[in-house]
């Protein structure tokens, strides 16, 4: 029994020792991480952003949940215009933040990084999250107002572009229909022209044929003129009839005069015929 107690006590001591050692190692790493952050901060103040970034990365390798190292590392990335990478570090800082003020600052910088990338909706969301954690931050409130203005402008431009594209499509379709109608009119004009040319061709006179026709028409006209000039057989003009009647009257008068002379000499006896 005493041996068992000794064994258990030994295991307890080993466990305690291990825990203490681990804690000591953790504390040691944390101290080193804080030291590297302070080193990075000095370099950052001197605007030696690349060297500061190295110090912050080393700090995170000692303690990957060190929010200050993530936040400061994000700032060096932001200063080097590596906005996308900076957002990742600020998000990590917001996640590991131990108080609302630190979380608000992380979201504020996320908003700034999104503004630089012209991702205005994401910037608006980040600033709102920042103000939820620190409603009294006037700088964040101002940045939110700017982001909302830019977002509204962007949405208006998108709408205008959408309307313009819609109008362009409509105008394009209208022009296509207009071109189709022009083509149809051209085809109609072409058909009409071909028809007119065909009619002209058909109407084109044969000189020889026309000459024969003119000669024939002239003969027919001459014949008609002669017929007009010559009275038709069996018919007399009124003047001719008058002349004929006068001539007959004169002949009759002459005959009557002769007969009266013979009467005065005696009536002639009627003779018998010898046949």
Domain with CATH 1.25.40.10 in the chain: 1-96
What was the pLDDT predicted at 24?
A: 74
Joined together, the tokens standing for residue 80 give 């080097």
At residue 268, the pLDDT reads: 34
Q: Determine the pLDDT at residue 13.
A: 67
DSSP string, 48-69: -HHHHHHHHHHHHHH-TT-HHH
Q: Give exposure, 28-50, as e/b (b: 16+ Cβ within 10 Å).
A: eeeeebbebbebbbebbeeeebe
The pLDDT of residue 234 is 45
The answer to whether residues 66 and 73 touch, using CB atoms and an 8 Å cutoff, is no
The DSSP 8-state label assigned to residue 204 in this structure reads -
What would the CATH number be for the domain defined by 97-189?
1.25.40
Distance of CA 44 to the CA centre of its chain: 53
In the chain, which residues have pLDDT < 70? 1, 6, 9, 12-13, 17, 20-22, 191, 194-238, 240-241, 244, 248, 251-275
1-96 belongs to which CATH class?
mainly alpha
Closest to 95 measured CA to CA, from 107, 82, 78? 107
Alpha-helical (H) ranges within the chain are 2-45, 49-62, 67-79, 83-96, 100-116, 120-133, 138-203, 207-229, 238-265
Rounded to whole angstroms, how far apart are CA atoms 59 and 55? 6
135 to 142, 147, 155, 211, 221: CA distances (angstroms)? 12, 17, 27, 112, 119
Residue 43 pLDDT: 96
45-54 confidence digits (pLDDT tens) = 999 999 999 9
Q: How many CB atoms lie within 10 A of CB 57?
A: 14
SS3 212: helix
Q: Kindly report the pTM of this predicted structure.
A: 0.57
Q: Exposed (0-12), middle (13-18) or buried (19+): which is 190, by Cβ within 10 Å?
A: exposed
- Residue 209: the pLDDT is 54
Model pLDDT, residue 23: 72
C-alpha–C-alpha distance, residues 37 and 24, integer Å: 20
Q: How does DSSP assign 87-127, residue by residue?
A: HHHHHHHHHH-SSHHHHHHHHHHHHHHHHHTT-HHHHHHHH
């Amino acid at each position: 029994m005493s041996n068992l107690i000794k064994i258990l006590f030994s295991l307890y001591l080993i466990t305690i020792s291990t825990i203490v050692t681990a804690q000591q190692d953790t504390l040691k790493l944390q101290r080193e991480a804080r030291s590297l952050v302070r080193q990075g901060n000095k370099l950052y103040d001197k605007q030696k952003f690349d060297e500061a970034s190295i110090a912050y990365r080393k700090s995170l390798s000692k303690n990957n949940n060190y929010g200050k190292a993530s936040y400061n590392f994000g700032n060096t990335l932001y200063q080097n215009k590596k906005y996308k990478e900076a957002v990742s570090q600020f998000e990590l800082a917001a996640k590991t933040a131990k108080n609302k003020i630190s979380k608000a600052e992380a979201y504020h910088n996320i908003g700034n990084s999104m503004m630089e990338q012209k991702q205005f909706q994401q910037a608006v969301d980040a600033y709102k999250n920042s103000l939820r954690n620190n409603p009294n931050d006037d700088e964040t409130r101002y940045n939110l107002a700017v982001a909302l203005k830019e977002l509204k402008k962007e949405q208006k431009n998108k709408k205008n572009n959408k309307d313009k594209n819609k109008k362009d499509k409509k105008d394009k379709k209208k022009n296509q229909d207009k071109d189709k109608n022009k083509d149809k009119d051209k085809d109609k004009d072409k058909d009409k022209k071909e028809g007119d040319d065909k009619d002209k061709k058909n109407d084109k006179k044969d000189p020889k044929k026309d000459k024969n026709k003119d000669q024939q028409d002239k003969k027919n006209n001459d014949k008609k003129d002669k017929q007009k000039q010559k009275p038709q057989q069996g018919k007399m003009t009124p003047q001719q009839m008058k002349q004929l009647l006068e001539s007959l009257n004169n002949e009759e008068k002459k005959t009557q005069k002769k007969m009266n002379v013979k009467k005065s000499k005696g009536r002639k006896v009627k003779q018998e015929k010898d046949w």
